[in-house]
A and B are shown apart, each in its own frame.
Chain A
Amino acid sequence: MKNIILYLCAIALMSLISCQVEREGCTDPSAINYDVLAELENNSCTFPNVLMRFVPMIDDSTQLSFGQDYIINGLNVRFDQIRFYVSDVNLVTSTENFASEETLLATEVNKLEEIGELKVGDLQEVKFNVGVDSVNNHADPALQPSDNPLSADSPDIQHWSWTAGYKFFLIEGAVDVNGDGEYEPDASETMSIHCGFDSNLKNIALAITEATAVDRLGFELDVSYDVKGIFEGYDLANQLFSRPNSNPEFATEIMNNVENIFKIR
């Protein structure tokens, strides 16, 4: 009996020692904490965090300031808000095809939003949707997690009632239609364009022109959008207001332009 106990103790000791010999760590070379010496994967790998930001530009080099005057299509224009949902972010790199579950709401604050963890590699293509896919667009917003901008509990949610779903793209501001140098506070010069509807969901695909690496330090993806481009060929003087039951065709025009305004900075 004693012998058996001794024998068991010996085995236990041996296995303990052997564990210490084999080095544990993260064995994935595309992780931040990749340990070249590690032989045993211990699931400790962490990957570079990808952050994304949408920046409004008034021309190639100037960022738009909300509350200021700009000339667009020959008219003085002031923007108070430009907000839109970005969903289904897909990043193709040399090491993976990454699909984010997060939906983000781009606002005038230009906040960096976390979209997930990517493996180290070279960025090749950026894809995303402006708007919300038809399933989410008609799902119950009270069942979305409360920290999601699609949640009815989020102060930022942009949602109509059920028929139209989410407001994909929203523009608020003023246009000096009569050219008297002032913005009339009434409907004649108030701009309020709310765009939605499944048919207006836009798939954006941006090719990478300059070599861009997702490295161990993480990764910030700055996407700029051209505010003047939103109104390309658009009759701003006469198309200030759009809702699903009031001039929805203006929203369609805007969304068709939105398809072409994004660029990687």
Chain B
Amino acid sequence: MSKIYSKFDKIYSNNIAKTVGFYPSFLLLFILAIAFTACRPDEAAQIQTPYSLQVPDGFTSPLIPDDNQLTFERIELGKKLFYDPVLSRDSTISCATCHLPSKAFADNLPISVGIQEREGFRNVPSLANVAWHPYFFREGGSPSLETQALGPIVDEVEMDITVAEAAARLRNDEDYIKMSKIAYDRQPNAYVISRSLAAFQRILVSGNSPYDQYTRGNQNALTTEQIRGKDLFFNQLQCATCHTGFNFTNYNFENTGLYENYEDEGRARLTADPNDIGKFKIPSLRNVALTPPYMHDGSLPSLESVLEHYNSGGSTHANKSLLIQALNLTAQQQSDLISFLESLTDETFINNPEYQ
């Protein structure tokens, strides 16, 4: 905390020192400028320390909304909220209860468990590289990290508290009041909570796995099994038609033939279109080895079982992608593929002190 204030003080007082010391006549101008910019929504950003996101080689720059440009102060506030159970009704559950840093911000339960041990209805996804996701949730119903953030707070089986009540709690806390004031120039409210959580999540970048090191030229980063698996994944099989790009997903919605009858209808819940039944957002495969069990409902316990599923071609379903066909992979090929998926585990990411 004190770090933020000293930064803030320094910038602020530097400005004044300059204007007062060297250009006395500019003092008035300076005051006027403050008075004018005071009504601009993002004025708070001007007295904060901008944060420039380190984008790994091969990644694009993520889109960041104008009213929520990254600053250290916003990220710090979002991080504090992310780990604080104050955002749940009985103060037992934080975002990190389900999104564990050591599990690439996912967990190892089939279905998430929230407040008072209430069972959720889906498997928790990793938050690595969420800054690049064009929409959120497995059916894509939430258009931004800002809007997504309020979902778990109010969800009856997750944190189960109204945002108004959560914000009122924060308004009783000196630290939160100060941090909100600096970060967003307002008292803690829904805007502050949603924006700061989004800001923190945008810096969760994973791009330093052995696979990444290999693509950047370190020939020793992958084992021979992993290199064989990589070739299967990208060249011989259709995996990379869907799990493509630096984040291993094109973000489309696909039915992989997991079931003949989907209890969770996936994308169709949002669109009510029968052609969307069983379609789920293609997940990123980064850090996938850390996040068993798999699929939207956590029904496949291991990477072995996921590969068995793809190898068999899955169940029959009218909406199943034509790319999902029986593969007849040998045991060796399956284990090569698994080794390759394991090479997507990014130790730098899960141990990054900036995130914890």
Contact = CB atoms under 8 A, between A and B. Distances in A.
Contact of A161 (B144, B151, B191, B272): B151
A178 B261 CA distance: 33
B164 A153 contact: yes
B152 interface: yes
B189 A161 contact: no
Interface residues of B, number: 31
B187 to A, nearest CB: 10
Contacts of A245: 121, 264, 269
Nearest to B146: A140
Contact of A141 (B139, B144, B150, B270): B150
A142 B149 CA distance: 10
A250 B272 CA distance: 15
B259 to A, nearest CB: 16
Given A151-B190, A245-B269, A163 B162 contact: no
User: Main SS of chain A's interface residues?
Assistant: loop
A233 interface: no
B269 A141 contact: no
**Which of A151, A154, A163 gathers most chain B CB within 10 Å?**
A163
Given A141-B190, A142-B146, A161 B154 contact: yes
Given A152-B163, A153-B164, A161 B146 contact: no
A249 to B, nearest CB: 12
A163 B143 contact: no
Interface string B208-249: 000000000000000000000000000000000000000000
B141 A162 contact: yes
A151 B164 CA distance: 9
A187 B194 CA distance: 33
Contact of B164 (A154, A164, A197): A154
A142 B164 contact: no
A160 B154 contact: yes
Interface residues of A, number: 22
Contact of B137 (A138, A154, A157, A163): A163
B163 to A, nearest CB: 4
Contact of B191 (A142, A162, A199): A142
B37 interface: no
A162 B137 contact: yes
Nearest to A244: B269
Contacts of B194: 140, 142, 152
Contacts of A146: 189
A22 B181 CA distance: 53
Given A152-B190, A153-B164, A163 B139 contact: yes
Nearest to A162: B142
A155 interface: yes
Interface string B248-288: 00000000000000001000011010000000000000000
Interface in B26-43: none
Nearest to B167: A153
A199 B190 contact: no
A3 B146 CA distance: 71
Interface string B163-194: 11101000000000000000000000111011
A256 to B, nearest CB: 15
B190 A161 contact: no
Contacts of A199: 272
B164 A161 contact: no
Contacts of B142: 161-163
Given A162-B141, A163-B139, A245-B264, A157 B163 contact: yes
Contacts of B92: none
Contacts of B190: 141-142, 151-153
Interface string B30-67: 00000000000000000000000000000000000000
A195 to B, nearest CB: 14
A199 B271 CA distance: 10
Contacts of A216: none
A228 interface: no
Contacts of B165: 155
A159 interface: yes
B308 interface: no
A148 to B, nearest CB: 12
B143 A138 contact: yes
Contacts of B152: 161
A197 B269 CA distance: 9
Nearest to B140: A163
A85 to B, nearest CB: 16
A151 B225 CA distance: 54
B147 interface: yes
A160 B270 CA distance: 13
Contact of A152 (B150, B155, B264, B269): B150
A153 B139 CA distance: 26
Contacts of A163: 137, 139, 141-142, 269-270
B148 interface: yes
Given A142-B190, A142-B191, A244-B269, A159 B154 contact: yes
Contacts of B189: 142, 146, 153
Contacts of B164: 152-155, 157
Contacts of A140: 144, 146-147, 194
Interface string A122-158: 0000000000000000101111001000011111010
Given A142-B193, A159-B150, A163-B141, 15 more contacts: A140-B146, A142-B147, A146-B189, A153-B164, A153-B189, A157-B162, A157-B164, A161-B151, A161-B155, A162-B142, A162-B143, A163-B137, A163-B269, A164-B141, A164-B269
7 contacts: A142-B150, A142-B193, A142-B194, A152-B194, A153-B167, A161-B141, A161-B151
